[in-house]
């Protein structure tokens, strides 16, 4: 080959071909190598696809399809939404690693993947109810939105059961009086749960009654607990105070319970006096006190027998015969038989005793019962229907038994969890995340709009397993959450790199 100024001609040609100016570059630019797409089209000198030229970095594929359906992880967006929902439920089920923010993240991701999936919104509402402090207004908005976008029967039933409770709480929380009433009701329910240990609950009942002197339930609780501790005098006073404060429909029960407590208090007092007098051998005094005790509590027939014995010890035969005659009339095998035998012996000195001994039992004996339990049953449940409504537990999180193959989903296994502050409104967060893909309001345009940048969902090989309202299939998640779901490339070629951008003045690349 010839020479040019002493340099081989082939070398000069190679230098010209590789100079920046020959390639449309300025001297400071780096050399542009042919892309893998060019190599695939047979451009000479390009690096074959899948290989790395010596000294160069690995080929980068930009704008890859990260959509869970486009990328082939799921067949439908409902499957993708269910996968996120289950991850949220698992976050809350794991007590040791329970994460409210993690669960909220997954529920938001679920509704992003399928804006018609009401279960995700329902669970978001439950998270608002479980927050400290509770976020009732947000929960109310989310419950209503759930049943609006997803009119399936199970969602409608779950919301219908929970909605009255949330609406009542929102109403109460809107005024200072309502807040005070709800606080009292919560404390009342907590107190009733402690009734099994009256000594512990008594102090809490006193504080509750003092916290709102206009509420009758605190005094009624004091009456029940005092009775459980055999403080019948205090029980009667508290129940009478409750009757004065209570609505008309409660007063009769409270008055009857108060009378029972006062009668029991009289019995206890009379019996203590009788025992003390008997020990001092003041038999007639003891007999009268035992008789009073029996009158206060007719079921305690043993007090009547002690009265008769005391009168006999005091040589007051007529008084003893009168008490024994009353016992003989009772249909109580044990005490009636014993009284008859005593009257038969006294018949030798008392005609009245002889006649009473031959008489048949004719009266039913008063039952013996636990006074404290009877008082509690007479009063009844202190919780009103509204109290039961507003203090009920939050509902369980909804699951989904949709059957599908759960492939590895990086958004679920390696999530970028957001930290939600107390100032953030979860309904607003949901609205921003879903954006123009939100199911239209009744007076809107109908089906949710699709983002023009979104690729259409690929056709499924099998039947559509999507469950939900009959609305247009939602588009892929839009650019609202670009750090997680990149719009990607069409589903027909998920791995293909983006085509080169068109250069002004030139025809688009083919």
Q: Which two structure tokens, joined as six digits, stand for 70?
A: 């486009």
| pLDDT at position 254 over 50 | yes
Q: What is the pLDDT of residues 123-142, one digit of tens each?
A: 999 999 998 889 999 999 99
Residue 463: is it exposed, middle or buried by C-beta count within 10 angstroms (0-12/13-18/19+)?
exposed
Residue 152 is predicted with a pLDDT of 94
Distance in angstroms (rounded) separating the CA atoms of residues 426 and 139: 9
Instruction: Assess whether the previous peptide bond of 133 is cis (omega < 30° from 0).
Output: yes
Residues 227-256, mean pLDDT to the nearest whole number: 97
Residues 365-378, mean pLDDT to the nearest whole number: 92
Residue 481 is predicted with a pLDDT of 37
Per-residue confidence band for 386, with pLDDT thresholds at 50, 70 and 90 = very high
Rg (CA), the chain: 43
Residues 383-399, mean pLDDT to the nearest whole number: 94
Of 464 and 397, more confident: 397
Residue 487 is predicted with a pLDDT of 34
Which range among 7-16, 78-87, 149-158, 389-398 shows the weakest confidence by mean pLDDT?
Answer: 7-16
Per-residue confidence band for 443, with pLDDT thresholds at 50, 70 and 90 = low
Per-residue confidence band for 486, with pLDDT thresholds at 50, 70 and 90 = very low
Q: What does each C-alpha distance from 346 to 343, 349, 356 come to in angstroms?
A: 5, 6, 10
Distance in angstroms (rounded) separating the CA atoms of residues 483 and 370: 68
Q: What is the pLDDT of residues 171-187, one digit of tens each?
A: 999 999 999 999 999 99
Residue 363 is predicted with a pLDDT of 83
Distance in angstroms (rounded) separating the CA atoms of residues 200 and 188: 14
Q: Which residues pair with 8 in a beta bridge?
A: 3
Which range among 6-10, 107-111, 147-151, 450-454 shows the weakest confidence by mean pLDDT?
Answer: 450-454
Which range among 29-33, 204-208, 348-352, 409-413 shows the weakest confidence by mean pLDDT?
Answer: 29-33
CB-based contacts of 351-355 (< 8 A; 24+ apart in sequence): 352/318, 352/321, 352/325, 353/317, 353/321, 353/324, 353/325
* Residue 180: alpha-carbon gap to chain centroid: 22
Q: Which two structure tokens, joined as six digits, stand for 5?
A: 């100024």
H helices of 33-175, in order, are 36-40, 77-93, 100-113, 118-130, 136-149, 153-173
Distance in angstroms (rounded) separating the CA atoms of residues 401 and 89: 13
In the chain, the percentage of residues whose pLDDT exceeds 90 is 61
Residues 284-313, mean pLDDT to the nearest whole number: 95
Per-residue confidence band for 246, with pLDDT thresholds at 50, 70 and 90 = very high
Q: What is the pLDDT of residues 18-39, one digit of tens each?
A: 444 444 444 433 333 333 333 3
Q: Which residues pair with 4 in a beta bridge?
A: 7
What 3 state SS string does 170-239 have?
A: HHHHCCHHHHHHHHHHHHHHHHHCCCCCHHHHHHHHHHHHHHCCCCCHHHHHHHHHHHHCCCHHHHHHHH
């Amino acid at each position: 080959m010839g020479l040019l100024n002493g340099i081989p001609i082939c070398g000069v040609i190679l230098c010209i071909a590789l100079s920046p100016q020959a390639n449309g570059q300025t001297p400071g630019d780096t050399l542009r190598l042919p892309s893998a797409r060019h190599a695939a089209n047979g451009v000479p000198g390009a690096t074959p696809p899948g290989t790395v030229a010596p000294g160069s970095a690995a080929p980068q594929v930009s704008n890859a399809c990260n959509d869970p359906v486009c990328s082939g992880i799921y067949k439908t967006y409902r499957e993708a939404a269910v996968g996120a929902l289950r991850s949220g439920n698992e976050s809350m089920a794991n007590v040791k690693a329970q994460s409210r923010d993690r669960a909220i993240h997954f529920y938001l991701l679920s509704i992003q993947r399928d804006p018609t999936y009401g279960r995700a919104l329902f669970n978001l509402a439950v998270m608002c109810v479980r927050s400290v402090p509770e976020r009732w207004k947000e929960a109310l908005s989310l419950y209503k939105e759930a049943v609006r976008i997803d009119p399936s029967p199970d969602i409608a039933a779950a919301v219908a059961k929970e909605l009255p409770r949330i609406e009542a709480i929102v109403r109460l929380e809107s005024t200072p009086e309502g807040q005070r009433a709800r606080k009292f009701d919560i404390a009342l329910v907590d107190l009733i749960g402690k009734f099994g240990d009256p000594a512990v609950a008594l102090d809490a009942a006193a504080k509750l009654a003092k916290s709102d002197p206009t509420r009758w339930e605190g005094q009624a609780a004091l009456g029940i607990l005092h009775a459980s501790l055999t403080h019948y005098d205090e029980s009667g006073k508290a129940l009478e105070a409750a009757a004065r404060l209570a609505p008309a429909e409660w007063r009769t029960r409270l008055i009857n319970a108060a009378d029972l407590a006062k009668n029991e208090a009289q019995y206890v007092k009379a019996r203590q006096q009788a025992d003390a007098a008997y020990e001092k051998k003041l038999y007639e005094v003891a007999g009268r006190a035992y008789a009073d005790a029996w009158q206060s509590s007719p079921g305690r027939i043993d007090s009547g027998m002690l009265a008769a014995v005391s009168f006999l010890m005091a040589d007051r035969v007529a008084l003893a015969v009168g008490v024994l005659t009353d016992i003989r009339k009772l249909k109580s095998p044990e005490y009636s038989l014993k009284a008859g035998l005593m009257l038969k012996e006294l018949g030798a000195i008392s005609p009245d005793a002889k006649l009473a001994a031959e008489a048949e039992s004719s009266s039913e004996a008063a039952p013996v019962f636990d006074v404290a339990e009877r008082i509690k049953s007479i009063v009844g449940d202190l919780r009103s229907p509204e109290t039961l409504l507003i203090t009920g537990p939050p509902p369980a999180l909804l699951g989904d038994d949709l059957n599908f193959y759960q492939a590895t989903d990086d958004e679920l296994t390696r999530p970028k969890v957001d930290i939600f502050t107390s100032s953030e409104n979860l309904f607003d967060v949901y609205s921003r995340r879903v954006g123009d893909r939100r199911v239209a309001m009744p007076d809107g345009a109908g089906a949710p709009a699709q983002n023009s940048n979104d690729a259409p969902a690929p056709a499924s090989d099998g039947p559509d397993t999507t469950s939900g309202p009959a609305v247009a299939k939602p588009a892929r998640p839009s650019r609202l959450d670009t750090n997680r779901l990149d719009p990607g490339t069409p589903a027909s070629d998920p791995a293909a790199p983006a085509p080169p951008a068109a250069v002004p003045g030139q025809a688009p690349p083919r």
